[in-house]
Amino acid sequence: DNQIRFVKSALWYHGYGRPELYQLPSDGSAGSRELLLAFSWLLHRLSLLEQLLARNRVKTGDETSVCTCEDDLPDSQKGLTEIAPEYGPEDRVDVRYLQWLNGRLRFQWRSLHAQHQEQCKLLHKIHLFTSGSHMDQTLGHFSVTETDLVRQPENYKQLLQLLESETLQLEAFLEWKQLESVYWQWMETVLDNVAEEGNPCESQDAHVETTGLPEVTSRCPWADGLTEHIDRLSRDLTTLHHQLQKLVTHRKAAWCEKVKTREEELQKEGFPATARKIQESVELKLQDLTYLCAPRKNRAHGLCRLVLRSKHPASKSSWGRSVSQEPVSAASAAEVIRELQMREASLGRELKQLREECRRRLDEIAEGLDGVICVTP
C-alpha cells in the first residue's frame, strides 16, 4: 500500500492528471492499463531512459558539472511549479522557524563548498603527480579511477563488470530506439480503446467525474484543496486584469505629463549633464543586453571532464567532453569564470533593484500606519 501511494504521489507531483489512476484500489488488484499509460507518459515527458543511462554511466574520468545557460527550467521540470500548493492563512509558518531553516541551509552550503574546495585540491595533486603518464597525450595524466587501478590492480575486475553492464544497457537502448515507433503505435491503439470505453461511462456516471479530484487530492496531503485554490486564483486574475487596465491608463497619462514636465526642465537647466547621466544608464543596461544576447554556442552545459592545463601544445584545452586526438569543443576554466562573473554582476544589479523596490513599498506601507516608527536598517 505504501508503494502504491508513493507512486501515485510521485506521478501527481510530476503533473500526471489522469483521475482514473488515482481512483485505483490500494491493493494493486486492478489497473494494469492505467499503469501502462502512466509509464508511457513518464517515458515521453521525462526522457526516462536517457536519465537512467546517464545515472548508471560508468565514470572513468574526473568530471564536473558546468552550466552557463539561462535559468530556464528544463523540459522535464516545466509545469512542476504550476501545480505547487498554495498555503492559506491557517498554514502560515513562524518566521523565526524560517530564519532558522535559512541559517541551517547557509551552513550546509558553506560546508559543501569547503568540501568541494578540498576535493579540487586533491584532484589537482593527482593530476599534477601523474602528469605525462597517460597514453593519450590530450589528457596527459590519470584520473582518480585510473590512479586507483594502478595502485590496486585487482579492482579492474569490478570495473570491467560495470563496463560490461553499461554496454548491455546501451545495446538495449539502441534496440529500443529501433522499435520505439512500434511501441508508440501500439500506445495509440490503447488510447483509442480507452476513449471508446470511456464515453458510455461519462454519460452514465457523470457524478463520479466531478468527485474524482477530491479523492485524488485526499491521497496527496500537500494537494488538498487544489481545486478551490485554482478557482480563487481564476477570480483573482480576472480582478487583477481589470485593475491593471485602469493602472496602465493612469500610468500612461502620468508618464506623458512627467515627460512634458521634464522637457520643460531640460530647456532651463544644463542639457549636457542630463545627457551624460542618461548615457551612463543606457550603457549599464546595454551590458545586461550584451550578456543576454551572447551566442548560445559559447555557453557550456552538462558534465565536462577535468583536464589539467599544460604548457604542451597537445593539451591546451582545460575542459573537454572528449579525449580523442581530434580537435574537440572545450571550455577553458578562465572563460567559465569570466562568464559566471558577468552573470553574478547582472544578478547583483537585479538584486539591488529589487531591494530598492521592496524598500520603497515598505515605506509606502509604513506611511499608512499610525503611531508606528520604522527605522531603516
Nearest residue to 332 via CA among 316, 344, 345, 347? 316
Within 10 angstroms of residue 289's Cβ, the number of other Cβ atoms is: 11
0.95 exceeded by the pTM?
A: no
User: Which residues are within 8 A (CB) of 201 and not within 5 positions of it... i.e. 6 or more apart?
Assistant: 208
For residue 82, give the 3-state DSSP assignment.
helix
Q: Which amino acid is at 195?
A: A
pLDDT at 20: 85
Give me the sign of the Cα torsion angle 9, 15, 16, 18: positive
Q: Tell me the pLDDT of the chain (377 aa) as tens digits.
A: 788 888 888 888 888 888 888 888 877 778 788 888 999 998 888 888 888 888 888 888 777 777 777 654 444 444 444 444 444 555 567 888 888 999 999 999 999 999 999 988 998 888 888 887 777 777 778 888 888 888 888 888 888 888 899 999 999 999 999 999 999 999 888 888 888 776 544 444 444 344 344 344 444 444 556 667 777 888 888 888 888 888 898 888 888 888 888 777 776 666 666 676 777 777 777 766 665 665 555 566 777 778 887 654 444 344 444 333 333 456 778 888 888 888 888 888 888 888 888 888 888 887 877 777 777 66
Residue 282, C-alpha cell as written in the block: 543606457
Residue 324 φ then ψ, to 5°:
-80, 170
What pLDDT does residue 75 have?
45
Radius of gyration of the chain, Cα coordinates, nearest whole angstrom:
29
Distance of alpha carbon 16 from alpha carbon 22, whole angstroms: 10
Which pLDDT score is estimated for 70?
Answer: 62
Nearest to 143 by CA among 336, 302, 301, 308: 308
Q: Residue 285 CB: number of other CB atoms within 10 A?
A: 11
Q: Where do we find the cell 560490461?
A: 164
What is the residue extent of each domain of the chain? 1-46, 60-68+94-195+299-307, 332-376
| Residue 212: per-residue pLDDT | 41
Q: Is residue 317 within 8 Å of residue 307, measured between CB atoms?
A: yes
What's the rounded Cα separation, in Å, for the pair 146 and 62? 10
pLDDT at 291: 58
Q: How far is CA 93 from CA 90, 115, 172, 199, 263, in A?
A: 9, 32, 49, 45, 50
In this prediction, residue 227 carries a pLDDT of: 67
Between the CA of residue 285 and those of 156, 279, 281, 290, what are the distances in Å?
A: 56, 10, 6, 9
- With CA atoms as reference, report the closest residue to 290 among 352, 346, 348: 346
Q: In what order do the strands lie in the sheet with 63-67?
A: 63-67, 301-306, 319-320
d(Cα 294, Cα 19) in Å, to the nearest integer?
44
- Beta-bridge partner residues of 319: 306
**What would the grid cell of residue 318 be?**
582545460
